[in-house]
Amino acid sequence: MMMKDFGTRVESVWEGLRPVTKKLIVGALKTGKVVPVPSRKFFYDAHADWEVSRLLTALDEQSNTPAVRKNALKRNEIEELANTCVRVLEDQTASAEVFIQLATRALKDNDYNRLDKLADRLAERFSSGEIAEIVRQTEMPQIRAIAYETLAMLPIPLIMPLLDDPLYAGIAAGALEQKAYEFDSDEARDLLDQFDAENEIIDE
């Protein structure tokens, strides 16, 4: 598989990848699975995440060009590499931006099984701040709903720090409201009442 055959944008992004990221992708392409980092339960390489995300974006853009749409063989090759990038990102990402990218692709393909698995990883791996960032960034109501529900299921001590962040306070309050009234949490209800009361004092 020659990157130059996939267009100049894909080739340029590929050449800019670090060797460790190229090795990760090539290994996943050959074996069909992502090789875990030895002796670590979970290791997050934010730089590799960003690099693989850029490559996936370039591949998706290239697959939609008229030349590729007319060439079934080339389209299949690009899709194979793109799907490998998706597997790598699903296995390692803890980034709001990448989650939105993957969830948007799943919705576009009507792949709700993949979307459910992404939601599971969101609960297992992402920080409360990154989940709130998904709510803040996404324009898709389905993705926002998944992030809100995941945030609402987190323990209250993980949600509380967000109330002190002007960027996420409203989102955290929304998650507490869901926790209070949909999950019947008295603790969340009390905290929400306290938050509302403090905001009323500030507004006055």
Distance separating alpha carbons of residues 120 and 78, to the nearest angstrom: 27
Q: How much is the pTM? A: 0.87
Q: Decide if 17 is inside a domain.
A: yes
Q: Decide if 141 is inside a domain.
A: no
Range of the domain at 50: 1-92
Q: Decide if 146 is inside a domain.
A: no
Q: Decide if 71 is inside a domain.
A: yes
Q: Are 35 and 76 in contact (CB under 8 A)?
A: no
Taking CB atoms within 8 Å and a gap of at least 24, the contacts of 20-26 are 20/45, 20/48, 21/47, 21/48, 21/51, 21/52, 24/48, 24/52, 24/88, 25/52, 25/55, 25/81, 25/84, 25/85, 25/88
Q: How many domains does the chain have?
A: 1
Q: Decide if 117 is inside a domain.
A: no
Q: Decide if 189 is inside a domain.
A: no
Residue 40 structure tokens: 């670590």
Q: Decide if 155 is inside a domain.
A: no
Q: Decide if 13 is inside a domain.
A: yes
- 204 residues of the chain, pLDDT tens digit each: 678 888 899 999 999 999 999 999 999 998 876 755 443 444 568 899 999 999 999 999 999 889 888 888 989 999 999 999 999 999 989 999 999 999 999 999 999 999 999 999 999 999 999 999 999 999 999 999 999 999 999 999 999 999 999 999 999 999 999 999 988 999 999 999 998 888 875 554
Distance separating alpha carbons of residues 14 and 52, to the nearest angstrom: 9
